[in-house]
Amino acid sequence: MTKTCIVASAAILEGNMAILQWNESLKKWMLIGDHFRNDETPEEGIKRIVKEKTDETIELIDYTKREKDQDMPMKLSINPITILVENLNYEDGRHNHIDIVFIAKLKNKSKSIISSQKDVRWFPIDEMRDIEIDPKVLEVIERTSSFIYDSMDST
């Protein structure tokens, strides 16, 4: 039987770098994220998850390329950049992951905070094709980078 999970993740970029976490079950670098709790919103969940994994606080960035709540399956206070639907093969069987992906930035803008973590670290975006990374994750990072820099150019 396939298990369905709703998870939250964050595309965190600074300059030409992005934070990724190693997923031991999938043997790939993925966006930082995990399951959020029943008593929290996806937005609250990803803030908690990033804090637990990096000891850092994030600010979510609203992806406003579409109208608020247009074609969205749930009410969110921050528009995610995408919702990935993936069928993943874990040790305990197949999982359908519905991954709400937010754009986020670290509040303290420090690249050194994750250096002590083996499973969470910064990667140069232009070197990501050389690591074990899910193609959908790479696409989200590239889209996030375009959005961030297009937003900066228009301000």
Whole-number pLDDT of residue 77: 78
Model-level pTM? 0.84
- Domains belonging to the chain, first-starting first, are 3-153 (3.90.79.10)
Q: Which residues of 27-62 are buried (b: 16+ CB within 10 A; e: fewer)?
A: ebbbbbbbebeeeebbbebbbebbeebbebebebbe
* Cβ neighbours for 40, distance < 8 A, ≥ 6 positions apart: 48
Tens of pLDDT, residues 60-85 = 998 875 555 555 555 667 889 999 98
Distance CA 89, CA 25 (A): 8
Whole-number pLDDT of residue 24: 86
Q: Which residues of 79-97 are buried (b: 16+ CB within 10 A; e: fewer)?
A: bbbbebeeebeeeeeebeb
What does pLDDT average to in each consecutive run of 10 residues of the chain (155 residues)? 87 93 89 93 95 91 66 68 85 83 86 63 92 94 89 56
Whole-number pLDDT of residue 2: 74
Distance CA 139, CA 43 (A): 22
Whole-number pLDDT of residue 59: 94
Whole-number pLDDT of residue 71: 55
Whole-number pLDDT of residue 97: 86
Distance CA 155, CA 151 (A): 7
How many H helices and E strands in the chain?
Answer: 2, 7
Question: Taking the chain, what is the end-to-end CA distance rounded to the nearest angstrom?
Answer: 49
